[in-house]
Amino acid sequence: MPGPDYLICLECETPTYIFEWVEGRVVEAVCAVCGNEDPAAFLSEDEYEEMAVRDEGSEGSDDDE
Ligand SMILES: [Zn+2]
């Protein structure tokens, strides 16, 4: 599977296109907005969406569906 088009910086939640993707994981990434360059602090679009869905699920205790 090829890498994602972009990664999302967890520090400022901004997409970045400056990264290197090797064998299914981030090996290098740089955020032009906040200067973050820790590969562990970036997620692919898919991973980010998964995380967002989990966050919503954990907080939705009193919505009336
Ligand atoms: Zn950032």
Q: Tell me how far the alpha carbon of residue 31 lies from the centroid of ligand 1, in angstroms.
A: 5
Query: DSSP secondary structure string, 33-50?
Result: TT----GGGEEEHHHHHH
Q: Tell me how far the alpha carbon of residue 20 lies from the centroid of ligand 1, in angstroms.
A: 16
**Which of 54, 49, 22, 26 lies closest to 38 in space, CA to CA?**
26
Spell out which residues have Cβ within 5 A of ligand 1, the ion. Answer: 9, 11-12, 31, 33-34, 36
pTM of the model: 0.77
pLDDT digits (tens, 9 = 90+) for 1-50: 678 999 999 999 999 999 999 998 899 999 999 999 999 999 999 899 99
CA dist., res. 46 & res. 51, Å (int) = 9
Q: Tell me how far the alpha carbon of residue 15 lies from the centroid of ligand 1, in angstroms.
A: 8
Q: Tell me how far the alpha carbon of residue 41 lies from the centroid of ligand 1, in angstroms.
A: 9
